[in-house]
Amino acid sequence: MINLIAGNSSKVLATKISKKLNANLIISEVKVFPDGESKITLKGKPSKSKTIIVQSIFPPVDSNLIKALSLISKAKDYSNEVVLVAPYLGYARQDREFLPGEIITMKVLGKLFPVVGASELIVVDIHSKIGLKYFKIKSKNISAMPDLARYFKKINLKNPLVVSPDQGGKERAKEFAKEFGSEFIALKKQRNRKTGKVQIKTEGLDEVKNRDIILVDDMISTGGSLIKATEFLKKQKCKKVFVACTHALLINNAENKIKKSGVTRIISTNTIPGKTSVVDISKIIVKALK
C-alpha cells in the first residue's frame, strides 16, 4: 500500500487525496518551541513502499519549507521512492535574477529537495515553469484552470469575458476560457522591480462594456495587480468583476482591499486553505500521481 504523509499545512487536502488513492495515511504533528524551532512527529510508521508527502509551502514559507524537507528526509528512511506534492510552492517567483545580485532561490530549492531524498515533485499552477528547470528530479506542473472554469459555469453571469491582468498569464486565461466557453483578453501591466508599484498600460477597451468579467490569475498575494486591473475595468464600464485564482494567499487584509476595489467574489482552490478555497483539486493531483 502507498504511504501518504500529510504535512501540517495541507492536512485536509492530503486526507482527500489519500482516500482517493486508498493510501496509508500518516498524520504529522508539529510542536513549536518558544525559540521558534519546530519538532515534527509522524503519528504512524510508513511501509517500505512508495511514499507521497503533501505539504503546501505557503506563509510562513520558510517554516513550511523546513517541514517539507524534514518530512522528505524521514520518508527516505523507509522508502526509495519519495514524491513531494507541493500544491503551492513558495519561492516560485524567484526563478531568475531580475536585478543584479539577486539570488535565484528556486535554484537553491532545486538542489535541496533531491539531496534530502525527494525523487519527484508535483506542483499546481506554478508561477513560472522556468523555475522547474532547476530541479534534476522528475517534476510536473498541473493546471487547476479547468476545475476553476467548471465551477464558474454554475454561476449565472452576463455575457462573461475572461481577462488576464497581465500578458504573462495569457496562456492561463486562454486555457480557462476554452473550458469555460468564452472569449479572453490580456491586459498590459508594468511593475517597477524596485518599488513593486503596478501600472496598467492597456488603453481603453470597448469589449468589456456591460459584460461580467472573470479575472484569472495563478495567485493572489497582496492583490495589488488585481486591484489595479479591477479599477481599470470598472472605468471601461464593465458589470460585475469576479476573480478566479489557484492560490489565494491574501496577505495584509488583501481580500477586503480587493472587494473594496469592486470585485464581487474571489474563488480559489484548496492548495491554500481559506474561506475562498471552494474548488477541490484532489482529483487532478491523484490523476498526476497515477
Q: How many CB atoms lie within 10 A of CB 210?
A: 10
Supply the pTM of this predicted model: 0.93
Q: Could you tell me if residue 239 is inside a domain? A: yes
Cell of 7: 504535512
Per DSSP bridges, beta strands 24-32 and 38-42 are antiparallel
**pLDDT for res 101:** 96
Task: Look at residues 290, 289, 262, 263 and name the one whose alpha carbon lies nearest to residue 276.
Answer: 263
Which parts of 9-125 fold into alpha helices (H)?
11-21, 61-76, 105-116
Render pLDDT for 141-191 as a digit per residue (tens, 0 to 9).
Answer: 999 999 999 999 999 999 999 999 999 999 999 999 999 999 999 998 776
**pLDDT for res 280:** 98
Query: Does residue 196 have a pLDDT over 70?
Result: no
Render pLDDT for 105-143 as a digit per residue (tens, 0 to 9).
Answer: 999 999 999 999 999 999 999 998 999 999 999 999 999
Q: Could you tell me if residue 33 is inside a domain? A: yes
Same domain, 154 and 26: no
Cell of 62: 520558510
Query: Does residue 202 have a pLDDT over 90?
Result: no
Q: Could you tell me if residue 276 is inside a domain? A: no
Angle, CA 230 vertex, CA 226 and CA 231 arms, to 5°: 120
Same domain, 25 and 110: yes
**pLDDT for res 194:** 65
Same domain, 7 and 124: yes
Query: Does residue 236 have a pLDDT over 70?
Result: yes
**pLDDT for res 73:** 97
Mean pLDDT within 60-65: 97
**pLDDT for res 127:** 92
CATH number of the domain within which 204 lies: 3.40.50.2020
Least confident among 32-41, 107-116, 182-191, 281-290: 182-191
Cis bond leading into 46, ω under 30°?
Answer: no
Same domain, 155 and 133: no
Same domain, 36 and 127: yes
Same domain, 8 and 63: yes
Q: What is the DSSP code (8-state) at residue 89?
A: B
Q: Could you tell me if residue 260 is inside a domain? A: yes
Same domain, 213 and 156: yes
Mean pLDDT within 190-201: 67
Is the separation of the CB atoms in 117 and 154 below 8 Å? no
Same domain, 201 and 232: yes
Per DSSP bridges, beta strands 161-164 and 213-220 are parallel
Query: Does residue 192 have a pLDDT over 80?
Result: no
Q: Is 261 exposed, middle or buried (0-12, 13-18, 19+ CB in 10 A)?
A: middle
Query: Does residue 205 have a pLDDT over 80?
Result: no
Mean pLDDT within 73-93: 97
Structural domain boundaries, residue 47: 3-143+281-289
Which residues does the annotation mark as catalytic?
A: 189
Query: Does residue 98 have a pLDDT over 70?
Result: yes
Average pLDDT, the chain: 95
Cα-Cα-Cα-Cα dihedral of 180, 126, 57, 86, to 10°? Answer: 80
| Number of structural domains in the chain | 2
Query: Does residue 201 have a pLDDT over 90?
Result: no
Q: What is the DSSP code (8-state) at residue 57?
A: B
Q: Could you tell me if residue 250 is inside a domain? A: yes
Burial 109-128 (b: 16+ CB within 10 A, else e): bbeebbebbbbbbbbbbbbe
